[in-house]
């Protein structure tokens, strides 16, 4: 015979609640990371399109190496921008829309 005190939860329910809470937290973290990645991708595309409008660099001749360096720099810049708080607001907008 077991005695149940008022307000005490059974271990099964407590374990299930903890598991569900952990899954929900992990899901929210994954969603936030995905939204951040998508914002970085959008910012990278925006940077590429803006660079396409420039006439070019007259100081240094264009080369494959400089193109790769510029691309890596833009990627680094956009990833860091997307990690900031409210750079464009797109990450937060996506997160609110996809959070269910």
How many domains would you assign to the chain? Answer: 1
CB atoms within 10 A of CB 38: 14
For the chain, state the CA radius of gyration. Answer: 24
pLDDT at 90: 87
Give the structural domain span for 94: 66-100
In a domain, 78, yes or no: yes
DSSP the chain: -----TTPPPHHHHHHHHHHHHHHHHHHHHHHHHHHHHHHHHHHHHHHHHHHTS---SSS---HHHHHHHHHHHHHHHHHHHHSSSSSSHHHHHHHHH--
pLDDT at 62 over 90: no
Give domain status of residue 73, yes or no.
Answer: yes
Give a yes or no: residue 47 inside a domain: no
Kindly state the average pLDDT of the residues 7-22: 70
pLDDT of residue 13: 61
Whether 12 has a pLDDT exceeding 80, the answer reads no
pLDDT digits (tens, 9 = 90+) for 18-33: 888 989 999 999 999 9
Residue 92, domain member (yes or no): yes
pTM above 0.85, yes or no: no
Q: What is the mean pLDDT of residues 60-80?
A: 87
Confidence of residue 85 (pLDDT cuts 50, 70, 90): confident
């Amino acid at each position: 015979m077991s005695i149940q005190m008022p307000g005490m939860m059974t271990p099964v329910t407590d374990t299930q609640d903890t598991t569900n809470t952990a899954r929900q937290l992990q899901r929210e973290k994954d969603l936030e990371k995905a939204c951040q990645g998508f914002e970085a991708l959008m910012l990278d595309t925006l940077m590429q399109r803006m660079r396409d409008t420039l006439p070019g660099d007259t100081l240094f001749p264009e080369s494959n190496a400089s193109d790769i360096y510029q691309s890596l720099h833009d990627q680094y810049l956009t990833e860091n921008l997307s990690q900031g708080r409210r750079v464009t607001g797109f990450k937060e907008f996506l997160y609110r829309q996809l959070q269910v």
